[in-house]
Amino acid sequence: MGNAVHSFSSFSGSHNREAFSSLHTLALRLSAISRRSLGGLAGRATVEMAVGVVALALCVVMAGSGDLVSRG
């Protein structure tokens, strides 16, 4: 989470590919945790909130670029 908040504040609107890649990987990992039984141990609501913060950080880093990845 600290990584997401740091990227949010340091790279906002920069279109930095390394920050994007790091945040995207973190979002995918957190999403995978929330689907497993580990998500129940960590608190599903907590994990889902973390995914939301990372998604917001991704949007802020790539703001204005029009280059957003969407995977379902």
Give the model confidence (pLDDT) of 17-57 as tens digits. 888 888 889 888 888 877 766 556 667 788 888 888 888 88
- The pLDDT score that the predictor gives to residue 72 is 46
- Give residue 12's pLDDT: 82
Distance of CA 2 to the CA centre of its chain: 11
Domain count, the chain: 1
In a domain, 71, yes or no: no
pTM of this structure? 0.71
Residue 15 lies in a domain: yes
Q: Residue 71 has what pLDDT?
A: 53
In a domain, 45, yes or no: yes
The residue written with tokens 């609501």 in the block is 45
pLDDT at 65 over 80: no
Q: What is the DSSP letter of 12?
A: T
